[in-house]
Amino acid sequence: MCDGNHPHHHHHHHNAPPSSAGLKIAISGKGGVGKTTLTALLARSFAAAGCRVLAIDADPDANLATALGIPLQLAAGITPVAKMKALAEERTGAQGGYGSLFKLNPTVSDLPKQFCVEQEGVRFLWMGTLDQGGSGCACPESTFVRRLMGHLMLERQDVVILDMEAGIEHLGRGTAEAVDALITVVEPGERSLQTAAQIRQLAADIGIRRTFVVGSKLRDAADESFLQSKIAADELLGFLPYHDEIRQADRNGEAPTACGNILAAITTLRQRLQHLTAAQTTFATAS
Ligand SMILES: Nc1ncnc2c1ncn2[C@@H]1O[C@H](COP(=O)(O)OP(=O)(O)OP(=O)(O)O)[C@@H](O)[C@H]1O
Ligand SMILES: [Mg+2]
C-alpha cells in the first residue's frame, strides 16, 4: 500500500502522508518543457513509496520508455496500442472492412498484463494516442483505446500517470473525468505560461476537476519568483529545477536518476500531490 496508508481511514495527522490509492494524473504542457522527465521521475517516486504504478505514454512520438530506463532493444519491440489494428478488430469484432459493425465494449480487462513492460516497479504502456481520429472517431482502434483507457482509469488501487501532448483535447471526456489532477509543466517564460493558460481553459471545458502547475528547468531564484508571481500559490505544486544530470542522462539515452537534489525535489512534488488530492477526495466523499 502506498506509504503504508489505508485508503479508508483518513486520519488528519501531520506525519501520516495521505493515501494516494487510485490517484490518476495527466501531465501536459508545451513541447520540450520536461513532461516526459517529470512523468518518469514521478512514476518512479510513487513506486518507491510502495504504490502500484502504471505510466502511460499517450504521445505518438514516444520516449517515456527510455526515460523510465526500459532498455532500447526492449522499447523498440513495443507497439503502441493505438496501432494494433488487428487486435482492435478482434476485440471490437469488426473484421468486415471499413464501416462494418463492431461491438462497442471490446474485452480489455486481460490486456494490461499482456502489453505492459515493467521496469523497476513501474508498469509501462505505450498507448500511442488517446483519440487519433478526433473526438468520437468510431474506428476499431479508437474505440479500443477509449475502452482500454476507461478500464485502466477505473483500477482503483493504481496510480496512473499519463504523459500527454500539449493538446489535451485528445483526452476524451470519460478519461478526463477520471483524472484527479492535471499537471501542466511550465518553464519560467511567458510562452510556456501562455500554453499553460490554454491548457487550463481546455481542462475545465472537458471536465478535469483539478489542475496544478509544476515549474521545470528553473536556473535560479529569479526563475522561481517569476513563476510565483504568475501562478496562484494553491495551483503551483512546486518545482523541478534544472539539473545537468537530467540533461546528461537524456544525452546518454538513460533514465534520469533520482538522487540528491533531484530526489528531494521529486519527493516534495509527489508528497504535495498526494496531500492535496487526498484532501480533495476526502472532501468529495465526506457526509
Ligand atoms: N529539470 C531538468 N533539468 C535539465 N534538463 C531537463 C529537465 N527537464 C527536462 N530536461 C531536458 O529537456 C529536454 C526535454 O525534456 P522532456 O523530453 O522531458 O520534455 P517533453 O515536454 O516531454 O518534450 P516533448 O514535448 O518533446 O514530449 C530533454 O533533453 C530533457 O533531458
Ligand atoms: Mg515528452
Is 125 strand, coil or helix? strand
Nearest CA to ligand 1 atom 26: 32
Q: Using the CB atoms, write b or e for 275-284: b if 16+ within 10 Å.
A: ebbbeebeee
Please tell me the distance between residue 185's alpha carbon and the centre of ligand 1 in angstroms.
Answer: 10
Q: What is the pLDDT of residues 90-99, one digit of tens each?
A: 777 765 554 4
Q: How far is the CA of 62 from the centre of ligand 2 (A)?
A: 7
274, amino acid identity: Q
Q: What is the mean pLDDT of residues 131-153?
A: 75
> Contact at 8 Å (CB) between 183 and 38?
yes
How many CB atoms sit inside 10 A of residue 7's CB?
Answer: 16
Instruction: Pick the more confident residue, 29 or 287.
Output: 29
Ligand 1 atom closest to residue 166's alpha carbon, by position in its atom list: 25
Q: Which atom of ligand 1 is nearest to the CA of 245?
A: 4
Residues 6+ apart with CB under 8 A from 253: 66, 72
Q: Poorest-confidence range of 56-65, 92-101, 118-127?
A: 92-101
Instruction: State residue 147's pLDDT score.
Output: 81
- Give the residue from 32, 28, 130, 24 showing the smallest Cα distance to 80: 130
Among 3.40.50.300, 3.40.640.10, 3.40.190.10, 3.90.650.10, name the CATH number for the domain at 19-285.
3.40.50.300
Give whichever of 3-17, 69-83, 232-246 has the largest mean pLDDT: 232-246
Asked if pLDDT for residue 224 goes beyond 90, the answer is yes
Cell of 55: 505510466
Determine the length of the chain.
287
**Runs of H (alpha helix) within the chain:** 35-48, 64-67, 72-76, 85-92, 111-115, 140-153, 173-178, 190-205, 221-230, 244-251, 260-285
Q: Which bound ligand lies closest to the C-alpha atom of 218?
A: 1
Over residues 22-36, the mean pLDDT reads 94
Q: How far apart are CA 105 and CA 207, in angstroms?
A: 23
Q: Which residues contact 89 (CB under 8 A, 6 or more apart)?
A: 95, 102, 140
pLDDT at 285: 44
Q: How far apart are CA 202 and CA 184, in angstroms?
A: 12
Residue 136 pLDDT > 80 = no
CA 44 to chain centre: 12
- Asked if pLDDT for residue 62 goes beyond 70, the answer is yes
Beta strand 211-216 with 236-240 is parallel
Confidence of residue 105 (pLDDT cuts 50, 70, 90): low
- Ligand 1 pocket list (CB less than 6 A): 29, 31-37, 59, 216-217, 240, 242-243, 246-247, 250
- Assess contact for 97 and 138: CB atoms under 8 A: no
- Contacts made by residues 281-285, CB under 8 angstroms, sequence distance 24+: 281/180, 282/10, 282/18
Query: Taking a C-beta distance cutoff of 8 angstroms, is the pair 87, 158 a contact?
Result: no
On whether the CB atoms of residues 202 and 169 are closer than 8 A, the answer is yes
Predicted pLDDT at 104: 52
Q: Number of C-alpha atoms within 13 angstroms, CB side, residue 245?
A: 12
Name residues with Cβ closer than 5 Å to ligand 2, which is an ion: 35-36
| Ligand index nearest the alpha carbon of residue 256 | 1
The label of the residue with cell 505510466 reads 55
Beta-sheet pairing, 211-216 with 181-186? parallel
Report the separation in Å between the CA atom of 225 and the middle of ligand 1, taken as the mean of its atom positions: 21
| Residue-level pLDDT at 6 | 42
Question: Which residue has better confidence, 22 or 164?
Answer: 164
What pLDDT does residue 138 have? 72
Query: What average pLDDT does the segment 179-198 reach?
Result: 96
For a mutational test of ligand 1's pocket, the pick from 27, 37, 195, i.e. the residue with the most ligand atoms closer than 8 A to its C-beta, is 37
- Atom 16 of ligand 1: nearest residue by CA position: 34
Res. 255: pLDDT tops 70 = yes
Spell 93-106 as b/e; 16+ CB within 10 A means b.
Answer: bbeeeeeeebeeeb
